[in-house]
Structure 1
Amino acid sequence: MNNILIVEDDNDINMLLTDLLKGEYNITNAFSGTEAMLIFANSGEKFDLILLDLMLPGKNGEEVIEEIRKTSSVPIIVLTAKGDTQTLVSVLEIGADDYISKPFDTREVKARVKSHLRKLQTSANTDTNDILQFENIKIDLMSRDVLADNKPITLTQKEFDLLVLFINEPKRVFTKEILYTMVWGDAYYGDDNTINVHISRLRSKLKDYTQKDIIETVWGVGFRLNTKK
């Protein structure tokens, strides 16, 4: 059974999420950002997913994301009442994998959680000998390690999945709809911010090692692997 950490200071919402998910997952609760980081640092459990509110006492949600991303690529779904585009783009840029706006539909929460955990399960079942190579980048599909010139690169779950997708089909142009369906495992409703930010962060992380944008934009269509020397 997968382990989920719920970080939400509103007791009613925290308990609502717990009741919603506890039948299928092991749930651990935190009610502040500081408490969440203590649990994350000291727990012997390996969390498979984190549901994280942004407006928290102690450390805020953004600080929690930044700290976790120093050591872990665990999927983080942000729950936020901040609906402005800049806030949503910002949390994706610092390492969140997804976001759900408050007030939320409980069916959407369950669907998003299942989607992210399904991706983890698929990765865990990958053949241990599966290694992808593109130029100086090497990807171990089993361990989910990414190396460039034998130096490790830390990617989030979605960044990793996007890179694998592009390298597996280097000549294919992926539309945003296809990327969202294949990587997020959900129907696409024109959520350009999520895809654009993840592509931008993936490019930025790899550029120092490849000296080019590893993913190129095909204007009006989508994205593909940049195979030009």
Structure 2
Amino acid sequence: MHNRVLLVEDDDELRQLLARYLDGQGFSVRQAANGQDGLALALGQDCDIVVLDIMLPDINGLDVLRELRGKTHLPVILLTARGDETDRIVGFEVGADDYIPKPCNPRELVARLQALLRRIAWDRKTKVDDPRVYGDLRVEPAQRRVYQNGTPLELTATEYEVLQVLLARAGSVVRKSDLMQWALGRRLEAYDRTLDMHISNLRKKLGNDDPPRIETVRGLGYSYRIPV
């Protein structure tokens, strides 16, 4: 079965170029030229993953993402203007799983899509379904859900993956390069703040404990501390 990608992009030439390339790589592609149509298709469960441009003619892509995050956990990759760090930061805060600057290389887009979908599929296929408890957190792998003191945490697909890696190695330091590879499926590159933003979002959702349960170990990586 082909993975279904929803491509929301108002630039007709770019959208059709990416759609043709994705189709040639074995993806089933749905297209939308504006935010309203993209939102309707995404909420209609017609896709497995969304590629979403921020600059859309009717609804800003970030607002589309906010609507999606209130109703679905679909993985979302943002298309952002090259060098616009503000949009990337806000995108992660709203709930993006990854981003690619425009103009984007179709091969890179395919690699990001495959990495994200592969992590989700591997997690569902190989991990035991039995719930696991880490202090005040309860993880239910079958549903890819995390509960804190009985309350569900609204995590993106990538935030879930990052947290799982840290929980599995609680009390130990996980190098940033390893965490990037294991949770995001790609190498850590200079000046890439993607992982930092996901960690920041996780800290906020977990309650900003003092001291933080996700500790930054300067020069090495991160360590998860189970509260007592």
TM-score of the pair, normalised by structure 2: 0.92
Structure 1 unaligned regions, length at least 5: none
Partner of 2:23: 22
Partner of 1:13: 14
Distance 1:20 1:94 in 2: 28
Distance 2:94 2:127 in 1: 31
8 Å contact from structure 1 (residues 54, 80) kept in 2: yes
Amino acid at match of 1:224: S
How far is 1:152 from its partner?
1.1
Partner of 1:226: 225
8 Å contact from structure 2 (residues 52, 76) kept in 1: yes
Distance 1:93 1:172 in 2: 26
Seen in structure 2, the aligned counterparts of structure 1 residues 63 and 44 have a Cα distance that, compared at 3 Å, is: closer
Seen in structure 2, the aligned counterparts of structure 1 residues 126 and 143 have a Cα distance that, compared at 3 Å, is: farther
Partner of 2:3: 2
8 Å contact from structure 1 (residues 10, 31) kept in 2: yes
Partner of 1:52: 52
Distance 1:142 1:129 in 2: 5
8 Å contact from structure 1 (residues 206, 213) kept in 2: no
- 1:37-186 superposed matches below 5 A: 37-41=39-43, 43-45=44-46, 47-186=47-186
3-state SS of paired residue (1:125): helix
3-state SS of paired residue (2:132): strand
Q: Deviations over 1:115-153 (max 9, x none)?
A: 011012112203453322111110011110111121111
Distance 1:40 1:129 in 2: 27
8 Å contact from structure 1 (residues 207, 214) kept in 2: no
3-state SS of paired residue (1:101): strand
Q: Which moved more, 1:171-180 or 1:159-168?
A: 171-180
3-state SS of paired residue (2:29): strand
Distance 1:205 1:49 in 2: 23
8 Å contact from structure 2 (residues 145, 152) kept in 1: yes
Distance 2:142 2:164 in 1: 12
Distance 2:129 2:227 in 1: 28
- Runs of 4+ with >6 A deviation: none
Distance 2:130 2:34 in 1: 40
CA RMSD of aligned residues (A): 1.7
Q: Percent identity?
A: 32
Aligned length: 226
Amino acid at match of 1:64: V
Q: Do structure 1's residue 215 and structure 2's residue 214 form an aligned pair?
A: yes
